[in-house]
Structure 1
Amino acid sequence: MEEPTIQKTELKKACVNCGAELKYKPGTTQISCEYCGHLETIALDENGFEELELYPFLEEMGAQKHSEEISMLHCKNCGADQHVEENYKSLHCVYCGQPLVIEDTYKEEWILPGAVLPFQIDKKKSFGIFKNWVKRLWFAPNNLKKAALDPQFTKGLYLPYWTFDAQLFATYTGQRGEYYYETKRVRNSKGKMVTQRVRKTRWYPASGQVSGFVDDTLIKASHQKTGRIPNKIASWDLKKLQPFDSGFLSGFVTEKYTIPLKDGHLRSKEIARDIADTWCRRDIGGDTQRVHSMNMSLSEETFKHILLPVYVSAYRFNGKEYNFFINGENGRISGSRPYSFWKIFFAVVAVLAFIGVIVLVSKK
């Protein structure tokens, strides 16, 4: 009978002292045992992370070298696909909190991550960030500050992204605009003649070419049907990326990409066109610019599948669920929150009363 294959992303590392599973310790390159305190260092690849040639993958060649099967759980409530570490006894979707049924596990092939940005803050610190956020909320109910977080429903989640690199070359035709000013006499709203300075533009033809390296165009690689990650926190320092090692995933949930590589590539080309337009305008110079035509080409295109950290959770208040998200690298927070009807009502009444007093005083 054939031995079952153990995949790199699912390999569990046991403590040599007590046998418990080792978990990644945020902000370090270590995995640790929560029971006996044993530490092990993650051995980083000295060669760094590899940029993969784009077109062999788009043509479905070479995928076997950099892909493998992983176990996935599909949330029937919100549609999220997630790879959940085995050590979670009570499985819940990181986005909507609904129970996940372990019997619904299925195998799916994915392009291996080339790099990961490890969590820099731990779950305890994320709680502190959440509590400080609640304290600063305007028009929040008084007893919201007493809302308790259930650690069971707060998960560290690695989000999948594509990054694309390319050499960009573009030629353009357009116009350079230079401002000049004329003084005119015009009649104002009171009927008086006044002097007014009017800005005008002289246009000159322009053409040329631009080129440069487009580095790490970041494209999200998953659709979240619910609990969409807010743009406010979706910014990471990619200089902190490390070569992929499954040790960084220990104790966390990993979401599988659902946006195919080819769709991510099409989006990256749109962003590259915006970059080329910016470069062309900079090359044209002057005070303002017009780009009439632009021909852009990309060469030496490469990509990476990377994983980026975020804490996802929810809290219940007066029977309603609210989501919040914390960037696992820099601690930025964004979330939904309840409002106090009475605080808003009395604030509006106070403002109207204040305006009324001003009106009465001005009439005396």
Structure 2
Amino acid sequence: MESSIQKTELKKPCLNCGAELKYKPGTTNISCEYCGHQESIQVDKNGFEELELYPYLQEMGSQKHSEEISMLHCKNCGANQHVEENYKSLHCVYCSMPLILEDAYKEEWILPGAVLPFQIEKEKSFLIFKKWVDRLWWAPNKLKKAALDPQFTKGLYLPYWTFDAQLSASYSGQRGEYYYETRRVRNAQGKMVSQRVRKTRWYPASGRVSGFVDDTLIEASKQKSGRIPSNIARWNLKKLQPFNSSFLSGFVTEKYTIPLKQGHLHSKDIAKDIARRWCRQDIGGDTQRVTQMDMQLSEETFKHILLPVYISAYRYQGKEYHFFINGENGQISGSRPYSFWKIFFAIVFGLILIGVLVFLGKGS
């Protein structure tokens, strides 16, 4: 029994009181929320490993960098979640529906190579969320109450793939240089006026570009439309730490559902966009046309990483709303409901006020 326990599921107890130690955001410590005892997380000084891409793809499921973890599947929204602590009860971080712990199952995953630990305490994210809600016009009172309840805000590690590669591309195209001519045209009033017109002279161009593409970031989970807004999905990857399961303690981790092969195909599309941009820069001039491009990638590597976000899920009149806070920099975004009655009474009050002002104006 002991030998079958995987290392990401081992819970470290407090030496003083026996409670579970949890990761303290913004540090490299795990701490006890009951007695305050802290222990340092042993971070690998050698850094994290970039895995060779094609050998891994060819082996298709090599277990060298994989391990088994326990997973909980939300039957309401489909999210797959791994919990790095012993919950008696748990709700889905996305839709707040109860998860049945008895339904937990074992599943293999490619071991994360790195993790960007939470830099913001849950209490601070809660204050950010509350401040954001307080600024909303016409927000329902139930939303205000939700903002006062910390249980609605949960910390989640999101899975991403990153890809590195040496890129080279040969191209042919045209360099455009602007010049201007003056011509006489008739304006809207029927008068002849001079007008300066921009034109372009095109010259043939060809060449070769090359460089290193570092950390192309690709979502590794099939998130629902609007689940993680793009305006908060920006993390400083220089803060990545070699993976240690202690960083996950006290948080929920979503397992990747987009396989490595599919993530790689997406990264190649992004690499083509990068190559095309480099070709345009190499052509120069005022504008450019790339008519043909041949791109090659070499020395490709990848890693599976986890990135932090706080989520508050809220239901109002049968509809689901989400609020997101970047767990590294505190950026917030979300959808919001409107209170019909608040808007209705505001309009009624406004009409009454206008009527009173009109009446007083006639009386004077």
TM over 0.5, shorter chain: yes
3-state DSSP of counterpart to 1:239: helix
Spell out the pairing of 1:136-155 with structure 2 (5 A cutoff).
136-141=135-140, 144-155=143-154
Q: CA deviation at 1:315?
A: 3.3
Range 223-232 or range 94-103, more displaced = 223-232
Would you say the 8 A contact 1:92–1:153 is kept in 2? Answer: no
The yes-or-no answer on 1:23 pairing with 2:22 is yes
Separation in 2 of the partners of 1:273 and 1:71? 38
- Give the letter aligned to residue 301 of structure 1: E
- Displacement of 1:150: 3.2
The match for 2:360 is none
Q: Does 1:77 align with 2:76?
A: yes
Deviates more, 1:196-205 or 1:126-135: 126-135
For 2:67, the aligned partner's letter is E
Which residue matches 1:181?
180
| Alignment partners' CA distance in 2, 1:105 and 1:175 | 59
Moved more, 288-297 or 97-106: 97-106
* Distance verdict in 2 for CA 1:61–1:96, change over 3 Å: closer
User: Which moved further from structure 2: 220-229 or 105-114?
Assistant: 220-229
Shift of 1:36: 0.8
Write out per-residue CA displacement over residues 38-83 of structure 1, whole angstroms, 9 at most, x where no aligned residue.
0001111010000000011101268222101100011111111110
Alpha-carbon distance, 1:9 to partner? 1.5
**C-alpha distance in 2 between matches for 1:252 and 1:103:** 19
1:94 aligned to 2:118? no
Q: Match of 1:113, as an amino acid?
A: P
Which secondary structure does the structure 1 equivalent of 2:133 belong to?
helix
Secondary structure, in 3 states, of the residue corresponding to 1:174? strand
Deviation at 1:154, TM superposition (A): 2.2
Tell whether the 8 Å contact from 1:222 to 1:256 is kept in structure 2 after alignment: yes
Number of the residue aligned with 1:360: none
**Counterpart in 2 of 1:49?**
48
SS of structure 2 residue aligned to 1:196: strand
Aligned to 1:311: 310
Kindly provide the amino acid, as one letter, of the partner of residue 46 in structure 1: K
Cα 1:140–1:69, aligned 2, differ >3 Å: closer, same or farther? same
- 1:248 match: secondary structure: helix
Distance (whole Å) between structure 2 residues aligned to residue 341 and residue 190 of structure 1: 50
1:276 match: secondary structure:
helix
State the one-letter code of the partner of 2:174: Q
- Letter of the structure 2 residue corresponding to residue 6 of structure 1: I
Residues 254-293 of structure 1 mapped to structure 2, 5 A cutoff: 254-293=253-292
Question: How far apart in 2 are the matches of 1:305 and 1:319?
Answer: 36
Contact 1:311 1:327 in 2 (8 A): yes
Q: How many residues are treated as equivalent by the alignment?
A: 352
Deviation (angstroms), 1:217: 0.1
For 1:330-356, what per-residue CA distance to the aligned partner results, in whole angstroms no more than 9, with x for missing partners? Answer: 111111112244676767998xxx9xx
Is residue 107 of structure 1 aligned with residue 106 of structure 2? yes
8 A contact 1:154–1:314 mirrored in 2 = yes
Question: In the alignment, is residue 335 of structure 1 matched against residue 328 of structure 2?
Answer: no
Corresponding residue of 1:362:
none
Q: Distance in 2 between matches of 1:33 and 1:329?
A: 22
Report the equivalent of 2:241.
242
Q: Percent identity?
A: 81
- 1:127 maps to a residue whose letter is F
In the alignment, the residues of structure 2 paired with residue 321 and residue 64 of structure 1 have an alpha-carbon distance, to the nearest angstrom, of 38
1:125 aligns with 2:124: yes
Q: Where does structure 2 lack aligned partners over 5 or more consecutive residues?
A: 355-364
> Counterparts of 2:347 and 2:267 in 1: how far apart (Å)?
46
Q: Distance in 1 between matches of 2:225 and 2:288?
A: 41
Greater Cα shift, 99-108 or 291-300: 99-108
Per the alignment, residue 358 of structure 1 pairs with none
Shift, 1:8, TM fit: 2.0
The alignment partner of 1:64 has SS state of coil
> Aligned equivalents of 2:269 and 2:198: distance in 1?
34
Looking at structure 2, the residues matched to 133 and 31 of structure 1 have their Cα atoms a distance apart, in angstroms, of 30
CA drift of 1:141 comes to: 5.0
Structure 1 gap segments, 5+ residues each? 355-364
* CA–CA distance in structure 2, aligned partners of residues 234 and 97 of structure 1: 22
Structure 2 match to 1:322: 321
Indicate how the Cα distance of structure 1 residues 89 and 149 shifts in structure 2: closer, same or farther if over 3 A, else same: farther
Aligned equivalents of 1:151, 1:82: Cα separation in 2: 20
Question: Within 1, Cα distance between the matches of 2:8 and 2:160?
Answer: 17
Whole-Å separation in 1 of the counterparts to 2:148 and 2:103: 28
Assess if the C-alpha contact under 8 Å between 2:181 and 2:197 holds in 1: yes
- Structure 1 residues 218 and 349, CA gap change in structure 2 (3 angstroms): farther
- Does the 8 A contact of 1:95 with 1:226 survive in 2? no
Q: Which letter does structure 2 place at the counterpart of 1:181?
A: Y
Give the letter for the 2:74 counterpart: C
Q: How far apart are 1:88 and its partner, in Å?
A: 2.0
Query: Counterpart of 1:125 in 2: which secondary structure?
Result: helix
